[in-house]
Amino acid sequence: MVNVVGLGYIGLPTILMLGAHGVEVTGTDYNSELVDTLNHGRLSFKEEGLEALYQEAREHGVSFTTEYVEADVYIISVPTPYEEITKKVDASYVVSAVRSVLPVCAKGAVIVIESTISPGTIDTYIRPVIREYGLVIGEDVHLAHAPERIIPGNMIHELLNNDRTIGADDLIIGEKIKNIYSSFCQGTITVTSIRAAEMTKVVENTFRDINIAYANELARICHEQNLDVYEIIRIANQHPRVNILSPGPGVGGHCIPIDPWFLVGDFPSLTHVIKAAREVNDSMPEYVLSRVSEVMNECGIEDISRVGFYGLTYKADVDDVRDSPTLQMLSSLKRHLCGNRVKVYDPMVEKDIVPNQYHDLDIFLNAVDLVVILVDHREIKENMNKLEGKIIFDTRHICSMEGVYHL
Ligand SMILES: NC(=O)c1ccc[n+]([C@@H]2O[C@H](COP(=O)([O-])OP(=O)(O)OC[C@H]3O[C@@H](n4cnc5c(N)ncnc54)[C@H](O)[C@@H]3O)[C@@H](O)[C@H]2O)c1
């Protein structure tokens, strides 16, 4: 029996995938509203293919509860933010989840931490908790780390096909956990040590952050030089060993803006590039705001309420708004007393989460003169004609109309 603890963006698809592939599994989350939602046949977020997977998993008897249940494998998938001041991982959610399963776990159970954690987190925070509880690691309880690589928007495909890493104290436990993930994962599963698995996951997201930062820095240099950054990148990428990513308005979500800080927090004197990349990406929303102001001046727009931000999520075609560049821009505007006046629209975000939020594309477009494209949702790509006659600042490079402002 497997108990998945934490049924958010990662835990939910994971439990559904396990259940749909015949693994006996129960999901636990301390958020009773979320558990009710799931038990009443509704999903807590939108993701292509998740509804069908949910139905399949339910037919296989998957259930959700606020209780921690007796199991021989626990998959812990709870948040891992960083501490604001030290930048080190905030392991408190993981520690608390582990504390909650210890009183009920079967003898010899494996606790798999799926949350992203900084290298050494299991040694520093988790082992002491288990010892304190009077259990012997390697006998009463085993530990493993199985970080997740999936990207919202393509979760189902990636759960099925991505390669994975599993860190464990010994090979037998590693293979046992590998077998569970192999119930659905067709990718290669590498078994290694816990510390190597912890480090690998953080290194992967840090790699992405640094590469995005490079593209963002180039965008700023090219703007100074009156050069088209997209043309420069397209030509540079013709080099057989160059692959520059696209610039954008910043990075959001629960991974890339967070995980590199773990390394900065733990190794402050060794992380110059990583820290600089974080700072570049974190400064992009402010940079975009300064460009919006330039465009407004150039086009004679004086009233900020005639400006519309298209997109609130941190990436295309998902409903996750955590740490999104648009939210960062809105909070910066709020600090400058005009945040409530910009108009905002996102087809994926049904609830009102910011002032002046619209829920109909046509009405939104009618209410503004300048449209700032901050997210490349499929909807806007398929409705480019509706932008005709508008002043457009496209931070995602999806609009090829004449006169569009780019990063
Ligand atoms: N979201 C992503 O794209 C992504 C991708 C790869 C890895 N990750 C990692 O996966 C982990 C989970 O991220 P997420 O996006 O799913 O977070 P989330 O906030 O969407 O979900 C976490 C869930 O855990 C629950 N929870 C917290 N503490 C609990 C406890 N003690 N007992 C029971 N439930 C508890 C919360 O109520 C919440 O529903 C993080 O470490 C994150 O870095 C996330």
Q: Which atom of ligand 1 is nearest to the CA of 147?
A: 7
CATH number, domain of 277, equals 3.40.50.720
Are 378 and 317 contained in the same domain? Answer: yes
Hey, what amino acid is at 9? Y
| Contact criterion met (CB below 8 Å) for 13 and 84 | no
User: Which residue, among 306, 315, 310, has the nearest Cα to 255 in the 3D structure?
Assistant: 315
Domain tally, the chain = 2
Q: Which of 176, 178, 201, 315 is catalytic?
A: 201
Which atom in ligand 1 lies closest to the alpha carbon of residue 93?
28
How many other C-beta atoms can be found within 10 angstroms of the C-beta atom of residue 29? 23
Q: Residue 270 carries which DSSP code? A: G
What length is written for the chain? 407
- State whether 130 and 47 are in the same domain: yes
User: Domain of 97?
Assistant: 2-192
Domain match, 373 and 236 both: yes
**Is the same domain home to 231 and 313?**
yes
Question: Which domain-ending residue is among 192, 217, 252?
Answer: 192
pLDDT digit string, tens, across residues 275-330: 999 999 999 999 999 999 999 999 999 999 999 999 999 999 999 999 999 999 99
Determine which one of 105, 185, 222, 255 is catalytic: 255
Binning the chain into helix, strand and coil, the percentages to the nearest 5 are 45, 15, 45
**pLDDT one-digit tens code per residue, 184-218:** 999 999 999 999 999 999 999 999 999 999 999 99
Last residue of a domain, one of 138, 166, 192: 192
Residues 6+ apart with CB under 8 A from 45: 9, 12, 318, 319, 320
Q: How many CB atoms lie within 10 A of CB 240?
A: 6
The residue type found at 80 is T
Residue 198 inside a domain? The answer is no
Confirm if 209 and 256 have CB atoms less than 8 A apart: yes
**How does pLDDT run across 183-193, given as a tens digit for each residue?**
999 999 999 99
Domain presence at residue 16: yes
Give tens-digit pLDDT for 141-178.
999 999 999 999 999 999 999 999 999 999 999 999 99
Residue 230 in domain: yes
